[in-house]
Structure 1
Amino acid sequence: MIWFSSDAERALKELDVDRTHGLSAEQANSRLEQYGENKLKGKPKKNVLVLFFAQLKDMLIYVLLGAAVITLLIGEYTDSIIILLVVILNAVIGVFQEYKAEKAIEALQKMTTPKALVRRDGEVIEIDSKMIVPGDIVVLDAGRYIPADLRLIESVNLQIEESALTGESVPSEKNAARVFEDPKTPLGDLANMAFMSTLVTYGRAEGVVVGTGMNTEIGKIAKGLEEHQTDMTPLQKRLAELGKVLGYIAIAICALIFIVALIQKRDLFEMFLTAISLAVAAIPEGLPAIVAIVLALGVTRMSRINAIVKRLPAVETLGSVNIICSDKTGTLTQNKMTVLHLYTQRNFLDVPSEGTATATEGTQKKLIQTLVLCTDATLVDGESTGDPTEIALLELGEKYHSSKKTLEDGHERVAEKPFDSDRKLMSTLNKEGSHYRLHTKGAFDSILKIATHALVEGKKIPLTDEIKADYLGAAKEMSDQALRVLGAAYKDTDEIIDPDDMEKDLIVLGLVGMIDPPRLEVKDAIHEAKRAGIRPVMITGDHQHTAAAIAMELGMATSLEQTISGSEIDALPDEELSAKIDQYRVFSRVSPEHKVKIVKAFQSHGNIVSMTGDGVNDAPSLKNADIGVAMGITGTDVSKGASDMILTDDNFTTIVSAIEEGRNIYNNIKKAVVFLLSCNLGEIVAILASVLFYWPVPLLPTQILWINLITDTFPAIALGVDPGDKDVMKRPPRNPKESFFAGGAATRAIIGGLLIGILTLTAFYFGLSEHGYQLGSKLIPQDVLTYAETMAFVVLAVSQLFYALSMRSATHTIFRVGLFSNKYLIGAILLGIILQFIVISVPFLASAFHVQMLSLRDWMIVIGFGLVPLVVNEIIKGGFRMRSREE
């Protein structure tokens, strides 16, 4: 059926759905089974086998496999089996890492699935857009993405931005009443249709779903295309580059080892295997995978504190944020509006907190009537939907016996001009007997701009400067009490007015003052942010005095001089605003365009800016900010789509908590990387020194590969999910241009690597000296060499495992951090030691790895050696702390 060629009623009949009732739950479930979920097909998932073989696509792995074949051919069956097992285990762990990261990212994508309003069983409910089926009645308003292809059945001033389909950036005007006979009518001209993935920018509408998933216009385009391409984060890219550089260095060292061995006339095949094994162990090819896992798990953890991070790179940026630009309503305040005062010309009326009252004066009655009729919210039997400000106005109406339901009988809405954040106004045209009355509400200064008269004691009089001053004085008085001020005006007309001509020549009725109390926990969060070197800034559409009063109560500002209004911003050239931006903590009466200016002004000083937003027009400022934060409760689909992070509780405190979590995630990644580099360097030091000084090599190729297996996976991941530093918010934000190895990280890696390498050689020397041999001795018996190699083998493993404990903090000792506070790390260390014990204790494994069982005395010695890097690093930390205290 060609939906745009038939009228709305025929479309509803064809889809077997009642417009006022919608589909029943049974019908919806049945159609979901018939048509499938409403989503585009993504790229096919890689199966486990493909992921497994992808792990083997590495030149060094190919060389190792070749070495395994050669050892098999020359009869060294045990070595070839061990090499193959290590390669397979390494690939299995790699598959596990990729799978874990992919699952965590999928879980996050599910959390950010767009929602849609549908009418089912006679009720308007919000569901995941993927659950929509053909025949669903979808309710649209400004800021929502169209969840499926719709035949519009009702539209009011509807405009939809369809550039995703048509390439036309100007929003298309829609009209549900239109019918197009020509079946070849271009997509961009179909005014009675709305298409999946396009965006409502203005007005409201209802439509019936005629196509879902791949059966939509956007689905036709998507066929054969991948839904998304997974990109590495900047940090992953940097570490991948680092891995390449370290790889070249490792290969160069291995080539040097091989050349020296050639000159020294050592067993070339044995040295070839040693060099390749060392290269495999030394090159941190798992860095990007570990970073992906740590980021994904960290982001999943953040979702539990009501912060859904949509893009992994945002986690890296979070740790550098030093300016939080926050909206006031709902984020800093409770978003529970209550009207406290009404004001008509020279007449204040206190609204009772409980019970009902009667408005005795005619102007007050008209003011309440306008405020109630000019809303899109609903309030029935105490249950409300819609904007909290409008709900507060409906509650006001209930208190004065003027419920919306009562007023709408005989005052039906016939036209409207929806709220717009630039105009800061909303208008509706309602029947008033035989004629019509226009009701307008909004920011009081915007009301004054379009009004020419005022209603005073029931009489329409010209709006003089004196009357304006009186109203403005009342508004200021309310604002100084931290009340939000809203004005109302009206005019009567004999005919239906075009929306473009509505807001002209109005009559001022008065204003109301409502309170939205600050969130109790926000004051502490602001104090914590300041202590962390982060500057909280309020950006709001509210009156300057209201905003300043709330900001001073919360500790964001200290005086009215720290506030600036939107009109004052307009009066400043961009260069001057940038020069003065650091003086301000409160930006009031701002429009979305002002938000972009403010973000750019802060960024011009090198600041990393987080910006909150919830409206359609907030998208530019969210995109311009370093971290765009959308509101999960009040936010539109547009703001959520443009953001990097969504707050599911719309709370400022959550932003601060997310920044703390972001800092800890970055620090954890740093710990894991420094640990891996220390371990790799230790192995290189031990092998390179023994070759250069013509000593026996303390480790066999199979032993190197085994140690790489038990230390480069679970301990590194356990460090990546460390609970974090409790003092992380007592330090200033990280400079985004700062080197990954700043703050002594490179020094720690080098010191750790040298200690691990030297102690491995020391253990090897100890093993030889126990039987009367030295490192330079010739013709060392095989049993003595096996004992010394076992000592070195165990010390290398346990020193790396114990050293992971010291990596948990660069400044605090393990006792200050809490020895058992990271149970995953303790588990990884115990697992590594147990595996090492099994290898040297089980006879066939000991034979395969050319090691032997150690006595209790030997175990005490290797544990003692293994603890040295940990102890030395802890002593260095203590020295630095003592020095910092003295300074």
Structure 2
Amino acid sequence: MHYKKSIEEIINETSTNIREGLTSKEAESRLLKNGENKLESKKNKSIFKIFLSQINDSMIYILLFAAALSAFMGEYSDSIIILIVILINALIGVIQESKAQKALEALKSLSTPKALVIRDSKTIEIPSEEVVVGDIIVLDAGRYIPCDLRLIESFNLKVEESAFTGESLPSEKDAKEVLDKEDILIGDRINMAFMSTLVTYGRGLGVCVNTGMNTEIGKIASMLNEEENSETPLQKKLSSLGKFLGFLSLGICALIFVVGMIQGRDTFEMLLTAISLAVAAIPEGLPAIVAIVLALGVQRMIKQNAIVKNLPSVETLGSVNIICSDKTGTLTLNKMTVRKLFSNLTTKNLENIDNLKEEDKSLLEIMTLCNDATSTEENATGDPTEVALLDLSLKYGITKKDLNKEHKRLNEVPFDSDRKLMSTINKYGENFKVSTKGAIDSILKISTKILLNGKLEPLTEDLKKNILDSSNEMSDDALRVLGFSYKDLTSHHIDIDDIEKDLIFVGLVGMIDPPREEVKDSIALCKLASIKTIMITGDHKNTAFAIGKELGLSEDFKECIEGAELDKLTDEELKERINDFRIFARVSPEHKVKIVKAFKSHGNIVSMTGDGVNDAPSLKAADIGVAMGITGTDVSKEASDMILTDDNFTTIVKAVEEGRTIYSNIKKAITFLLSCNFGEIVALFIAILLNWAAPLQPIHILWVNLITDSFPALSLGVDPTNDDVMSLSPRDPKESIFSGNTKYILILNGFTIGLVTLFAFKLGQNLYQNSLYHAQTMAFVVLSVSQLFFSLSMRSETKSVFEVGLFKNKYLILSIIVGVFIQFSIIEIPFFSEIFKVYPLNRSDIFIVILISLIPFALNEILKLFLRKRKRL
């Protein structure tokens, strides 16, 4: 714990010299011994590994077994078709994950490319990777800190540490302090500076005490590996479905084989039938269709400023019921902004100020002159507080460049943490003016007069109380308050101790890191969607609550808790009380992980958003982590499942909507495919039990599953979003794919499709003197076309096809037309009819099979009508 040690102890421990630094030889030796000063990052998966991960699925294993068995039985066409489907499915996943990896690489950038160090008694600039323990690092405004430092000198030094602390304001540093307490939070270690943070003000020196993975940022990066990757809800459901279908197909195959043997059928014939049943039980196109639907959703998300690193994450975000969001930069702008002015003993909201009074102009002039930052419409540099003051002046046409040109700065007294004041002396014609800003208590101590209505009045105790009351009101609104005073001089040759005496008080400003304008509406939409938004921040409790209240997160201060209070709760107590809180303030990285896990313990699907290093462990622990692409650190991006390229909380709400739509559409596609497959099983199973000839051949089933079914299933997968999708509550994470009426729809339609297929088969046998090919052709066409028509009714469980819009899903209409055309082409074109062993149908046959094929669709629409009437009653 370097913050507990004195400067002398640190110098001795690191074997260095404050003025001379390390020698080049010693630095080279330490670099060889300890390695480069950089974070270890996970290696990207190779294309081969990504490919293997895509075929690591129980349904794929069964298909591979069916392909091998088909090849062994000489049915090579069946085997080849199955293998092609497996390959297509794997390639889709490989392409998507590769795209995500490339997008992430493009987002990564070096945060600390150079470091200023003292070596061999000289100040030189070196790549930050070459910094070693013991190096003396030179710090100045605008420079990133390349490693963890124990400060040895500090002059008004401020460091922006929001990536660690979550606080908007820079942390003041003091090298002389020696902290003797245990477990001091990073934000309170005022004698330390940390890798990847930014110096915003002042200057200093520090000795490197940790590099690479031993730094605070490195420790957090290593914590990521402790969190195991868990499957998303969709992955879990599909995995369970695959296992269920696998056992089902094996069970049915065994049963049919036994029945066939009892019936005295040929062993070779029964093996072919078993293959047919295995093929019928597994929806071959399902893995590819789910992958394609997710991939299309991912592409839509990219257009909406979100990069998804793996396909199922889109669906997961759609199922969340809790979004834990970092405050700074995510819910807020991460930019200090002045909200209120106080002058003439009156507090004014900036939005209500059109014309500035004399006191207001004096106030803006002082805050512009007594300022070391720079800010233009294009860019800004310097302390965020000072930048906010310049932005306010710029809003009313006062620029620092013009003011400094007219009133040249001649002297200054820099800010320090003891005085809590800063003063400048500027030339005003033949005279001079002192401009001072600082903490309100410090300003009132050195002010003896006040500017009221253009006149100077004595600053009485009653007036001071009035000013302090107004300051406290601003503080209660979580505003940071600064006071401003001035005095006129006839000469700038004045003793330094006399500059900040007998000043004239002008006014106050209150500033805050404000919420993003669009976030409030997004949170309201989350409420409508029954999604709870939780704010997690390193800011103080009052500030956090004020922001949360403004965003509509909470109206009760009791719903706000800070890190110190969390430490007093056991894990079990936190789990019991977690739902009582909406705002978490002054939290550490460990707190964030505990919070996420406590919410998850109640069965919630939790999303965590953030941009800082301190967010990374909780991003990893959440069901889905969402990192910021612009302000986010590389560590947070590495830990996340999704990255927002516009750093906008509103994009998350769009992702929720997209995720809900995707899940709904995948459910439609799965129900449709399984209904069709169940129909095939019914047809084959009943035929075998009744000792009939097989109504379908394996290649017929494969064709229907891969081509005829796949196009409508894909079209259902891209069905337009329902208008009410964000007014529904998030589904239960434990909810089955077959929840509600889905299982009944599946069974009913499976039996209907199977029975109409058998009816067509027997009708064909009766019409054509027991011609097996002719009967199988009619069964084949009815099975295919009935499924195509049936897909129309799958767009909604309750609304008729005309209510949802017959032509709203143009892809589905096109897939039905193309499917019917291809199906009849197969039986009419000799080349294909020989491969599929089918027989051309005449006009009356075609008319009959079309009528039979419409039965499942008509039955569904009648059932929906009945359900709607029952609901109204």
- Farther off after superposition, 543-552 or 711-720: 543-552
Instruction: Tell me if 1:817 matches 2:812.
Output: no
Q: Distance in 1 between matches of 2:552 and 2:647?
A: 20
Letter in 1 for 2:529: A
Letter in 2 for 1:129: S
- 1:395 lines up with 2:395 in the alignment: no
Check conservation: 2:67, 2:80, Cα contact below 8 A: no
Amino acid at match of 2:676: C
SS of residue in 2 equivalent to 1:592? coil
- Change in CA separation of 1:430 and 1:285 when aligned onto 2, cut-off 3 Å: farther
| Residue of structure 2 aligned with 1:96, choices 85, 88, 106 | 88
Q: Deviations over 1:726-767 (max 9, x none)?
A: 322222111112223222322222222211111110111221
Contact kept in structure 2, 1:356 and 1:400, CA below 8 Å:
no
Is 1:748–2:735 an aligned residue pair? no
Contact 1:484 1:514 in 2 (8 A): yes
> Contact 1:479–1:543 (CA<8 Å) still a contact in 2?
no
Are residue 317 (structure 1) and residue 316 (structure 2) matched?
Answer: yes
The answer to whether the 8 Å contact 1:101/1:292 transfers is yes
Amino acid at match of 1:857: S
Counterpart in 1 of 2:276?
277
Matches within 5 A, 1:470-509: 470-476=467-473, 484-487=479-482
CA distance in 1, matches of 2:47, 2:658: 30
What's the TM-score, normalizing by structure 2?
A: 0.68
1:865 corresponds to 2:852 = yes
2:510 is aligned with 1:530: no
Q: Distance in 1 between matches of 2:54 and 2:301?
A: 30
Alignment of 1:592 with 2:587, yes or no, is: yes
Deviation at 1:113, TM superposition (A): 3.5
**Residue in 2 aligned with 1:698?**
695
Q: 1:107 matched to which residue of 2?
A: 99
How far apart, CA to CA, are the structure 2 residues paired with 1:65 and 1:841?
A: 31
Of 725, 728, 731, the residue aligned with 1:728 is 725
Instruction: Give identity over the alignment, percent.
Output: 44
Q: CA deviation at 1:302?
A: 1.8
CA contact (8 A) 2:410 2:425 kept: yes
Work out the CA distance in 2 between the residues paired with 1:543 and 1:41.
40
Partner of 1:717: 714
Q: In the TM superposition, what whole-angstrom CA distance separates every residue of 1:757-808 from its partner, at most 9, and x where no partner exists?
A: 1111011122123347xxxxxxx3xxx2222111101111122223333332
- Give the counterpart letter for 1:669 in structure 2: I
Change (3 A) 1:314 1:763: same
Q: Give yes or no for contact 1:104–1:300 (8 Å, CA) kept in 2.
A: no
**Distance of 1:757 and 1:633 partners within structure 2:** 55
Give me the whole-angstrom Cα distance separating, in 1, the residues matched to 2:568 and 2:779: 70
Residue 509 of structure 2 aligns to a residue in which SS?
strand
Deviation at 1:662, TM superposition (A): 1.1
Instruction: Give the TM-score normalised by structure 1.
Output: 0.67
Determine the structure 1 residue equivalent to 2:788.
801
Amino acid at match of 1:592: V
Q: How does 1:534-573 map to 2 (within 5 A)?
A: 534-536=531-533, 541=539, 544=542, 551=549, 560-561=555-556, 570=565
- Which deviates more from structure 2 when the two are superposed, residues 877-886 or residues 320-329? 320-329
| Residues 408-431 of structure 1, C-alpha deviations (whole Å, 9 max, x = no match) | 9778999999xxxxxxx9999999
Distance in 2 separating the partners of 1:350 and 1:806: 57
SS at structure 2 position matched to 1:801:
helix
Aligned to 1:45: 47
Contact 1:114–1:637 (CA<8 Å) still a contact in 2? no
Per the alignment, do residues 358 and 48 of structure 1 end up closer, same or farther by CA in structure 2, a change over 3 Å counting? closer
2:109 aligns with 129
SS in 1 for 2:722: coil
What are the ranges of 5 or more consecutive residues in structure 2 without an aligned counterpart? Answer: 1-15, 25-39, 118-125, 150-163, 166-193, 204-212, 216-224, 427-433, 452-457, 486-494, 497-503
Query: Aligned partner of 1:591: which letter?
Result: R
Please provide the CA RMSD for this pair.
Answer: 5.7
Q: 1:405 to 1:264 in 2, by over 3 A?
A: farther
Q: Does 1:856 align with 2:843?
A: yes
Structure 1 residues 397 and 853: CA distance shift in structure 2, 3 A: same
Cα distance change, pair 878–538 in 1 and its aligned pair in 2 (3 A): farther
Supply the AA of the counterpart residue of 1:822.
Answer: N
**1:283-325 C-alpha deviation (Å, 9 max, x unpaired):** 2465444433333332222222223334545434323323345
Does structure 2 retain, via aligned residues, the 8 Å contact 1:609–1:626? yes
Q: What is the distance in 2 between the residues matched to 1:670 and 1:854?
A: 35
Cα separation, partners in 2 of 1:300 and 1:760, compared to 1, 3 Å? same
Q: Could you tell me how far 1:690 is from its partner in structure 2?
A: 0.6
Secondary structure at 1:674's aligned position in 2?
helix
Matches within 5 A, 1:335-734: 339=338, 341-343=340-342, 372-373=371-372, 378-380=374-376, 382-384=378-380, 391-398=387-394, 399=397, 402-403=400-401, 455=447, 457=449, 470-476=467-473, 484-487=479-482, 511-514=508-511, 524-536=521-533, 541=539, 544=542, 551=549, 560-561=555-556, 570=565, 574=569, 587=583, 590-593=585-588, 596=592, 606-619=603-616, 621-623=618-620, 625-711=622-708, 713-734=710-731
In the TM superposition, what is the alpha-carbon distance from 1:268 to its structure 2 partner? 3.0
Aligned length: 730
In the TM superposition, what is the alpha-carbon distance from 1:253 to its structure 2 partner? 1.4
- Structure 1, unaligned stretches of length 5 or more? 12-37, 72-79, 116-127, 141-145, 164-169, 172-197, 207-215, 219-225, 418-424, 442-446, 496-506, 773-779
Q: Do the aligned partners of 1:562 and 1:583 also contact (CA within 8 Å) in 2?
A: no
CA deviation string 1:696-754 (max 9, x = no partner): 22112332232232145433333333323332222211111222322232222222221
Correspondence for 2:238: 239
Q: Take 1:341 and 1:614, find their aligned partners in 2: how far apart are those partners?
A: 29
Number of the residue aligned with 2:735: 738
Decide whether aligned partners of structure 1 residues 701 and 114 sit closer, same or farther in structure 2, where only a CA change above 3 A counts.
closer
Change (3 A) 1:479 1:304: farther
* Distance in 1 between residues matched to 2:250 and 2:435, nearest whole Å: 79
Partner Cα distance (1:239, 1:311) in 2: 16
The CA distance in 1 between the partners of 2:46 and 2:280, in whole Å, is 33
1-side partners of 2:105 and 2:412: how far apart? 36
Instruction: Specify the SS of the correspondent of 2:196.
Output: strand
AA aligned to 1:790 is T
For 1:834, the aligned partner's letter is: F
Are the structure 2 counterparts of residues 547 and 109 from structure 1 closer, same or farther at C-alpha, using a change threshold of 3 Å? Answer: same
